[in-house]
């Protein structure tokens, strides 16, 4: 059993900060207002993000990969690239709160895929939690009661691709250091996004480049503070704090983008988040280890 320092408050505060960072990411992407195509925006975000790999560049150059590992990292780069493109596209179509609420589906998809890919067992309680989470997604989408946007389909695809990316990372994390897994993801995704970006390339303004740079900075900061949260306290303590991200998203959407508050989105997000928290708690109790990733763990 992994021992954590007795700093639950610190873990919660770091996770709250993580949520704020990722809401800032969504807000700045929303601020682009489609002026830069989604694939190009995502590509530039990752190109700028390569700067943060400088401290580990020497270690990265010393890494030797087997043919199998190369194939897995290439596959992860592809599926993550597709997920990032769909996420950036969804941000041009949907309110910030709606994207945030649907992003909670990522760990649920991981739980489902782990059954088929990794052979994990889906106990009755976990199965019921998954069903509840999917019900939460239906509350958000409300098919038949409103016209669905292509952005909703994009977000469903985003969660699926990110779940696949996480499962590959889980396999590779047992074979090499986490910092190298993250660094290789950044490189492979940058390469994977390049052809999509070139196909739709428009010359961005300096203002838009500045916004994308802020996206890269806040995304990196969010992953760093999330790591600090996990180091300070068990995920069962920090996971519930991720729900506050939906609160920040609603406030940012209302104040800065004049987006109306949709109570169905909040309700659906709450149902999904409660399901994810239950799945995480059950795994911690039964296996004394974290199986389900935190909501933001597969994020851009």
pLDDT digits 0-9 by tens, 29-85: 999 988 999 999 999 999 999 998 888 888 888 888 889 999 999 999 999 999 999
Per residue in 145-183, pLDDT (tens digit) is 788 899 999 999 999 999 898 888 888 877 887 778 888
Query: How confident is residue 1, by pLDDT bands cut at 50, 70 and 90?
Result: very low
Give 195-256 as a DSSP string.
HHHHHT-----HHHHHHHHHHHHHHHHHHHHHHHHHHHS-HHHHGGGGGHHHHHHHHHHHHH
- Alpha carbon distance 199, 39 (integer Å): 9
Determine the straight-line distance between the first and last CA of the chain, rounded to whole angstroms. Answer: 30
pTM of the predicted protein model: 0.85
How far from the centroid of its chain's Cα atoms is residue 106's Cα?
7
Q: What average pLDDT does the segment 19-25 reach?
A: 92
Q: What count of residues does the chain have?
A: 300
Res. 6: pLDDT tops 80: no
- Alpha carbon distance 10, 143 (integer Å): 41
Contact 51, 194 (CB under 8 A): no
Closest to 19 in 3D by CA, of 247, 215, 230: 247
Q: Give the start-to-end residue ranges of the domains of the chain.
A: 8-294
pLDDT for residue 5: 55
Res. 213: pLDDT tops 60: yes
Res. 240: pLDDT tops 90: no
């Amino acid at each position: 059993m992994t021992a954590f320092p007795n700093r639950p408050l610190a873990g919660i505060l770091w996770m709250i900060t993580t949520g704020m960072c990722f809401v800032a990411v969504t807000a700045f992407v929303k601020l682009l207002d489609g002026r830069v195509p989604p694939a190009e925006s995502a590509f530039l975000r990752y190109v700028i993000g390569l700067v943060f790999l400088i401290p580990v560049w020497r270690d990265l150059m010393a890494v030797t990969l087997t043919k199998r590992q190369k194939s897995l990292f290439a596959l992860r780069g592809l599926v993550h690239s597709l997920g990032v493109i769909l996420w950036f596209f969804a941000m041009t179509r949907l309110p910030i709160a709606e994207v945030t609420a649907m992003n909670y589906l990522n760990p649920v998809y991981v739980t489902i895929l782990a059954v088929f890919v990794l052979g994990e067992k889906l106990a009755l309680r976990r199965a019921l939690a998954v069903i509840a989470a999917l019900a939460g997604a239906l509350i958000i989408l409300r098919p038949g009661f409103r016209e669905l946007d292509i952005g909703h389909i994009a977000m469903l695809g985003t969660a699926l691709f990110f779940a696949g990316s996480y499962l590959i990372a889980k396999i590779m994390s047992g074979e090499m250091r986490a910092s190298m897994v993250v660094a290789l993801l950044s490189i492979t995704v940058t390469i994977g996004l390049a052809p999509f970006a070139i196909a739709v390339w428009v010359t961005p303004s300096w203002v838009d480049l500045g916004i994308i740079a802020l996206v890269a900075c806040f995304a990196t900061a969010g992953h760093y503070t999330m790591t600090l949260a996990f180091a300070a306290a068990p995920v069962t303590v920090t996971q519930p704090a991720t729900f506050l991200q939906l609160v920040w998203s609603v406030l940012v959407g209302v104040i800065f983008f004049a987006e109306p508050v949709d109570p169905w989105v909040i309700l659906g997000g709450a149902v999904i988040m409660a399901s994810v928290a239950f799945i995480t708690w059950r795994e911690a109790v039964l296996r004394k280890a974290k199986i389900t990733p935190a909501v933001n763990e597969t994020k851009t």
